[in-house]
C-alpha cells in the first residue's frame, strides 16, 4: 500500500488508515457576499437539511446530505460545496478589502470565491489557471457567487507576467498547486491507483516553479500561502526547502483551531530547513477531514 510509506510520520497510523477508508463528510461554505451564516442556517432548516457548524470556521457547515448542489441556497449562490480543510489556505492568507491578490492555480474556484468573500468583493483578485477547460467552471462559480472584483487569466503560473495587471507586485498570493492528491482518497477512492514516484517528482518541479514565481510577484512584507492535498514530503517540505534557498522569504507560523502536526524536517535521508516545522500537516483521522498541507511565507525582499 502506498500510504505505508508514511507510517513513520504519522501517530496512530491504524486510525489514519481507518479514516482514509471512510467517506468524507459533506461540507458547504457560506458565501457571505450573498447571505449571512444565520440566514443560510434558516434556509437549510426550512429546506429540511440537517447541519452542524464547524467550530474552527463558522462559515463552514457539515450537512446531512451528499447532494447540497440540489438545494436552492446552492443554486442562488448562498453556499459553495467545499471540502472542510481546503478552506484553510484562504483563511491563513487572510486578505483585506482593497488588496491585490493572486490565486495562481484557481480553477474551479472554491478558494477564489472564498478569497473574494474575505475581501468583501473589493480590491483586485487575479484568478489564474493554465487549464482553459477548468476556467469555464471558475467563471460559472464566480458568477453564481456574485464575485465582481475578479480578473480571470490563463497562463503558466511558473512564468506569470505582471504586465497585464499593471506591473505592480501583489499584496498576497495563494499557491494551491496541482499535486498527487493523496489526501483526497476519502472522496476519490481511486486517487492512488495511478500513483508513481516519478510523477510525484515531476509535480515537485512544477510546484517549486509556481511557488518561486508567486514569491517574486509579491511585494516585500506580503504573504504567500502554499498548500497541497498530499502527504508526500517531496511535494511539501522539500518544495519549501528548495525555495527558501533561492528566494527572499521566510516561513512564519499561523494559528488554526484544527488539530494539526508540524512539518517534517527529515525524509528519506534528506534534511530540510528547520523552519519547515512551522508548516502544518493535517491527517484525516485528526479532524475527520481530508488530508492537507499548508505553509505561510512572508516575502522579505532582501
Classify residue 183 by its DSSP letter.
G
Q: What is the DSSP string of 274-293?
A: GGGGGSEEE-HHHHTS--EE
Q: How far is CA 283 from CA 11, 245, 260, 287, in A?
A: 10, 28, 7, 8
Classify residue 297 by its DSSP letter.
E
Catalytic member of 179, 229, 249, 294: 229
Give the whole-number percent of the chain exceeding pLDDT 90.
Answer: 94
Q: Are residues 77 and 166 in the same domain?
A: no
Residue entry with cell 488530508: 291
CB-count burial class (<10 Å; 0-12, 13-18, 19+) for 74: middle
150 - beta bridge partners?
125
Residue positions counted in the chain: 302
Mean of pLDDT values over 34-45: 96
Q: Are residues 54 and 90 in the same domain?
A: no
Q: Are residues 10 and 40 in the same domain?
A: no
User: Three-state secondary structure along 224-257?
Assistant: EEEEECCCCHHHCHHHHHHHHHHCCEEEECCCCC
Domain hosting residue 129, numbered range: 2-23+84-299
**Grid cell digits, residue 175:** 499557491
103 - beta bridge partners?
127, 174
Residue where a domain terminates, one of 64, 82, 100: 82
- Please count the other Cβ atoms lying within 10 Å of the Cβ belonging to residue 273: 17
Domain at 56, CATH number: 3.30.70.1170
Told to judge if 294 belongs to the known catalytic residues of this protein, a careful annotator would answer no
pLDDT score of 36: 98
Torsion on CA atoms 191, 104, 123, 34, rounded to nearest 10: -10
Q: Are residues 197 and 48 in the same domain?
A: no
Q: Are residues 78 and 91 in the same domain?
A: no
Domain at 269, CATH number: 3.40.50.150
Q: Are residues 98 and 184 in the same domain?
A: yes
pLDDT single digits (tens) 211-245? 999 999 999 999 999 999 999 999 999 999 999 99
Cis peptide preceding 108, ω within 30 of 0: yes
Q: What is the Cα–Cα distance from 43 to 55, expressed in whole angstroms?
A: 20
Q: Are residues 214 and 78 in the same domain?
A: no
Q: Are residues 89 and 78 in the same domain?
A: no
Q: What is the Cα–Cα distance from 133 to 131, expressed in whole angstroms?
A: 5
What are the counts of helices (DSSP H) followed by strands (DSSP E) for the chain? 9, 15
Q: Are residues 127 and 177 in the same domain?
A: yes
Residue where a domain terminates, one of 48, 63, 82: 82
Q: Are residues 56 and 142 in the same domain?
A: no
Tally of structural domains, the chain: 2
Residue 27, pLDDT > 80, answer: yes
Residues 6+ apart with CB under 8 A from 150: 112, 116, 125, 127, 142
Q: What is the DSSP string of 71-134?
A: SHHHHTTSEEE--GGGGHHHHHH---TT-EEEETT-TT-HHHHHHHHHTTT-SEEEEE-S-HHH
pLDDT single digits (tens) 88-141? 999 999 999 999 999 999 999 999 999 999 999 999 999 999 999 899 999 999
Residue 139 CA, chain-centre distance (Å), reads 18
Q: Are residues 265 and 289 in the same domain?
A: yes
Q: Report if pTM > 0.75.
A: yes
Q: Are residues 137 and 281 in the same domain?
A: yes
Amino acid at each position: 500500500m502506498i500510504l505505508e510509506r508514511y507510517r513513520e510520520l504519522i501517530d496512530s497510523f491504524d486510525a489514519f488508515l481507518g479514516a482514509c477508508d471512510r467517506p468524507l463528510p459533506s461540507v458547504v461554505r457560506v458565501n457571505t457576499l450573498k447571505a449571512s451564516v444565520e440566514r443560510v442556517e434558516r434556509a437549510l432548516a426550512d429546506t429540511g437539511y440537517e447541519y452542524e457548524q464547524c467550530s474552527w470556521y463558522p462559515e463552514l457547515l457539515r450537512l446531512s446530505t451528499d447532494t447540497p448542489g440540489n438545494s436552492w441556497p446552492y443554486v442562488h449562490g448562498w453556499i459553495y460545496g467545499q471540502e472542510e480543510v481546503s478552506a484553510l489556505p484562504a483563511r491563513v492568507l487572510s486578505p483585506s478589502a482593497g488588496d491585490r491578490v493572486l490565486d495562481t492555480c484557481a480553477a474551479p474556484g472554491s478558494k477564489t470565491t472564498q478569497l473574494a468573500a474575505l475581501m468583501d468583493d473589493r480590491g483586485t483578485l487575479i484568478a489564474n489557471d493554465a487549464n482553459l477547460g477548468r476556467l469555464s467552471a471558475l467563471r460559472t462559480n464566480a458568477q453564481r457567487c456574485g464575485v465582481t472584483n475578479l480578473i480571470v487569466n490563463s497562463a503558466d503560473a511558473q512564468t506569470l507576467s505582471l504586465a497585464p495587471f499593471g506591473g505592480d507586485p501583489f499584496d498576497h498570493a495563494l499557491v494551491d498547486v496541482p499535486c498527487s492528491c493523496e489526501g483526497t482518497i476519502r472522496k476519490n477512492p481511486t486517487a492512488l491507483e495511478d500513483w508513481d514516484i516519478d510523477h510525484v517528482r515531476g509535480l515537485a518541479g512544477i510546484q517549486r516553479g509556481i511557488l518561486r514565481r508567486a514569491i517574486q510577484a509579491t511585494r516585500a512584507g506580503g504573504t504567500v500561502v502554499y498548500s497541497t492535498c498530499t502527504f508526500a514530503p517531496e511535494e511539501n517540505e522539500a518544495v519549501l526547502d528548495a525555495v527558501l534557498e533561492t528566494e527572499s522569504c521566510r516561513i512564519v507560523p499561523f494559528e488554526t483551531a484544527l488539530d494539526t502536526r508540524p512539518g517534517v524536517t527529515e525524509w528519506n535521508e534528506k534534511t530540510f530547513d528547520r523552519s519547515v516545522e512551522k508548516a502544518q500537516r493535517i491527517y484525516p483521522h485528526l479532524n475527520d477531514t481530508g488530508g492537507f498541507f499548508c505553509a505561510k511565507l512572508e516575502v522579505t525582499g532582501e
